[in-house]
Amino acid sequence: MLYLAIKAGLSGILIAIVSEVAKRYPGFGGLIASLPLVSVLGMIWLWRDKPDAANMAAHSEGTFWFVLPSLPMFLLIPAMLRHGFSFWASLAAGCVLTILLYSLTIWAGPRLGLKL
C-alpha cells in the first residue's frame, strides 16, 4: 500500500509542478508537460512490478502509437480559445476529438499490423 501511495504522490507532484510553472511561464510549463515524465515513471513502476523485456517493449511501442492521436487536441484547444470559445467548451471538444482518434487508432491499428 505504501508503494501505491508513493507512486500516486510522485505522479501528483509532477502535475502540480507543471501547473505552477505554467502560471508564470506558459511555454516552459508546456515544455515540462510535453516531457514523457509520466511515461518514464510508468515504465519504471511497470519494470519494478514486472521486469519483463517483451512486456516493456510492447508497452513502450503502444505508448508511442497512442501519443499520436492525442496531439491534435493541443492544436484544437488553442484554435478554439482564440476564436472566442470558452475554455470548457474547448477542452471538451479536444477531449472528444482525442477519444474519437483513440477509437480510430484502436480500430485501425491492428488492421495495419500494429500490436496495441
Q: Locate the domains of the chain by residue range.
A: 1-38, 52-116
Side chain identity at 29, as an amino acid letter? Answer: G
Q: d(Cα 39, Cα 33) in Å, to the nearest integer?
A: 11
54: left (phi over 0), alpha (psi -120 to 50) or beta: alpha
Q: What is the pLDDT of residue 92?
A: 98
Q: How confident is the model at residue 80 (pLDDT cuts 50, 70, 90)?
A: very high
Q: Which of 51, 55, 42 is nearest to 8 (CA)?
A: 42
As a whole-number percent, the residues of the chain with pLDDT over 90 amount to 73
CB 40 within 8 A of CB 54: no
